[in-house]
Amino acid sequence: MIDYSVALQGVYSVIREPLLILLIFAGVAMGIMFGAVPGLTSSMAITMCLPLTYGMSQTQGMALLVALYVGGMSGGLIASILLNIPGTPSAVSTCFDGHPMAASGKAYRALGIGILCSFIGTVFGLICLFFIAPLLAKVAIEFGPFEYCAIAIFSLSLVISLTGKDIIKGFISVFLGMLFGTVGLAPIDAAKRFTFGQTQMNDGLKLISILIGLYALTEILKVAEAVRRPQKVIVQEVRMRGFGFSLKEFRSQMFNILSSCVIGTGVGILPGLGGGTAGMLAYTFVKNRSKYPEKFGTGIPDGIVASEASNNAVIGGAMIPLLTLGIPGDGATAILLGGLMLHSISPGPLIFTKNGAVVYGIYTAIFIAAFAMLVIEYFGMRVFVKLLNIPKNLLFPIIITMSFIGAFCISNRIFDIWVVFFFGIVGYLMSKWGFPKPPMVLGFILGSTFESNLRRASQHMALDPSVILTRPIALVFIVITVLILTISILNMRKKKQTEE
Q: How far is the CB of 168 from another protein (least distance, A)?
A: 34
Asked if 452 and 124 count as a contact pair (C-beta separation under 8 A), the reply is: no
Closer to another protein by CB, 105 or 348: give it. Answer: 348
Q: How far is the CB of 336 from another protein (least distance, A)?
A: 8
Per-residue contact flags (x/-) with another protein for residues 417 to 456, judged by CB under 8 A: -----------------------------------x--xx
Q: How many angstroms separate the CA atoms of 218 and 210, rounded? A: 11
Site residues (CB under 8 A) for another protein, limited to 325-354: 325-328, 331, 334-335, 337-338, 341-342, 344, 346-351
Q: How far is the CB of 107 from another protein (least distance, A)?
A: 14
Q: How far is the CB of 415 from another protein (least distance, A)?
A: 10
Asked if 80 and 86 count as a contact pair (C-beta separation under 8 A), the reply is: yes
299: left (phi over 0), alpha (psi -120 to 50) or beta: left
Closer to another protein by CB, 52 or 487: give it. Answer: 52
Asked if 407 and 217 count as a contact pair (C-beta separation under 8 A), the reply is: no
Q: How many angstroms separate the CA atoms of 219 and 223, rounded? A: 6
Q: How far is the CB of 335 from another protein (least distance, A)?
A: 5
Q: How far is the CB of 487 from another protein (least distance, A)?
A: 32
Q: Which of 251, 386, 493, 494 binds another protein (CB under 8 A)?
A: 386
Asked if 59 and 351 count as a contact pair (C-beta separation under 8 A), the reply is: no
Closer to another protein by CB, 215 or 404: give it. Answer: 404
Decide if residue 389 touches another protein (CB under 8 A).
Answer: yes
Q: How far is the CB of 117 from another protein (least distance, A)?
A: 24
Q: How many angstroms separate the CA atoms of 450 and 261, rounded? A: 24
Q: Which of 69, 143, 363, 428 binds another protein (CB under 8 A)?
A: 143
Q: Which of 262, 410, 417, 441 binds another protein (CB under 8 A)?
A: 410
Closer to another protein by CB, 38 or 427: give it. Answer: 38
Closer to another protein by CB, 408 or 421: give it. Answer: 408
Q: How many angstroms separate the CA atoms of 98 and 385, rounded? A: 13
Asked if 397 and 216 count as a contact pair (C-beta separation under 8 A), the reply is: no
Closer to another protein by CB, 334 or 484: give it. Answer: 334
Nearest by Cα to 27 from 87, 75, 96, 80: 75
Q: Which stretch binds another protein (CB under 8 A): 180-188, 222-230, 249-257, 472-480?
A: 180-188
Buried b (16+ CB within 10 A) or exposed e, 112-130: bbbbbbbbbbbbbbbbbbb
Q: Which of 246, 459, 486, 491 binds another protein (CB under 8 A)?
A: 459
Closer to another protein by CB, 161 or 449: give it. Answer: 449
Closer to another protein by CB, 88 or 163: give it. Answer: 88
Distances (CA, A) of 155 to 210, 220, 294: 20, 30, 21
Q: How many angstroms separate the CA atoms of 279 and 365, rounded? A: 24
Closer to another protein by CB, 170 or 356: give it. Answer: 356
Q: Which residue type occupies 153?
A: I
Q: Which stretch binds another protein (CB under 8 A): 306-314, 387-395, 428-436, 492-500?
A: 387-395
Q: How far is the CB of 458 from another protein (least distance, A)?
A: 10
Per-residue contact flags (x/-) with another protein for residues 122 to 141, judged by CB under 8 A: ------------------xx
Asked if 248 and 294 count as a contact pair (C-beta separation under 8 A), the reply is: no
CA terminus-to-terminus distance, the chain: 62
Decide if residue 88 touches another protein (CB under 8 A).
Answer: no
Q: Which long-range contacts (CB under 8 A, 24 or more apart) does 133-136 make?
A: 133/319, 133/320, 133/323, 133/324, 134/324, 134/349, 136/265, 136/269, 136/317, 136/320
Q: Which of 463, 466, 469, 497 binds another protein (CB under 8 A)?
A: 463
Number of residues that bind another protein (CB under 8 A): 71
Q: How far is the CB of 268 from another protein (least distance, A)?
A: 16
Decide if residue 185 touches another protein (CB under 8 A).
Answer: yes
Closer to another protein by CB, 29 or 368: give it. Answer: 29
Per-residue contact flags (x/-) with another protein for residues 219 to 238, judged by CB under 8 A: --------------------
Site residues (CB under 8 A) for another protein, limited to 31-60: 33-34, 37, 40-41, 43-44, 47-48, 50-52, 54
Q: Which of 387, 473, 484, 485 binds another protein (CB under 8 A)?
A: 387
Closer to another protein by CB, 159 or 407: give it. Answer: 407
Site residues (CB under 8 A) for another protein, limited to 259-318: 271
Q: How far is the CB of 409 from another protein (least distance, A)?
A: 4
Asked if 150 and 478 count as a contact pair (C-beta separation under 8 A), the reply is: yes
